[in-house]
Amino acid sequence: MQKLKSIGKWLCIIGSIILLAGAIVFVCGMAAENWDFSKLATVRYIERSFEQNGETINAVDLDFRNVNVEIEISDNVQGISLTYPVREGNDDTAAAVKDNVLTLKDEAWNFSLFAWDFGAPAAKLTLPSHSAVPVDVCTGNGDVKITGGYYTTLKIQTGNGDITLDSTRCASLSAETDNGDITMSGVCCSDDLSAETDNGNITATGGLTASSVRVFSDLGDITFTGGTTNAEYIEIATNIGDVKAELAGNVWDYTVTAVTDIGNSNISSGGNGQFILKVTTDIGDINITFEK
Tens digit of each residue's pLDDT (9 = 90 or more) over 216-229: 999 999 999 877 78
End-of-domain residue from the set 131, 160, 181: 131
- The total number of structural domains in the chain stands at 3
Output 32 or 101, whichever has higher pLDDT.
101
Beta pairing class for 150-160 and 135-141: parallel
Whether residues 192 and 278 share a domain: the answer is yes
Q: Is residue 136 part of a domain?
A: no
Distance, CA of 99 to CA of 52 (rounded, Å): 14
Q: What is the pTM of this model?
A: 0.82
Angle subtended at Cα 232 by Cα 227 and Cα 233, rounded to the nearest 5 degrees: 95
Whether residues 86 and 220 share a domain: the answer is no
Q: How would you class 251 by CB atoms within 10 Å of its CB: exposed for 0-12, middle for 13-18, buried for 19 or more?
A: middle
pLDDT at 285: 98
Whether residues 213 and 263 share a domain: the answer is yes
Whether residues 52 and 152 share a domain: the answer is no
Nearest to 223 by CA among 240, 206, 243: 243
Decide: helix, strand or coil at residue 203: strand
End-of-domain residue from the set 104, 131, 158: 131
Stretch 233-245: mean pLDDT: 96
Least confident of 50-54, 89-93, 186-190: 89-93
Q: Is the pLDDT of residue 249 over 80?
A: yes
- Total count of residues recorded for the chain: 292
Residues contacting residue 233 through CB under 8 Å, at least 6 positions apart: 211, 212, 213, 214, 275, 276
- DSSP-assigned beta bridge partners for residue 50: 82
Whether residues 182 and 272 share a domain: the answer is yes
Whether residues 173 and 291 share a domain: the answer is yes
Stretch 130-154: mean pLDDT: 93
Output 273 or 36, whichever has higher pLDDT.
273
Whether residues 213 and 246 share a domain: the answer is yes
Whether residues 29 and 56 share a domain: the answer is no
Q: Is residue 19 part of a domain?
A: yes
Q: What band does 111 get if pLDDT is binned at 50, 70 and 90?
A: very low
Query: In percent, how much of the chain has pLDDT > 90?
Result: 66
Cβ neighbour number for residue 159 with a 10 Å cutoff? 17
Least confident of 27-31, 110-114, 175-179, 190-194: 110-114
Chain centroid offset of residue 2 CA:
54
In terms of residue numbers, what domain contains 25?
A: 2-35
Q: How would you class 136 by CB atoms within 10 Å of its CB: exposed for 0-12, middle for 13-18, buried for 19 or more?
A: middle
pLDDT at 107: 64
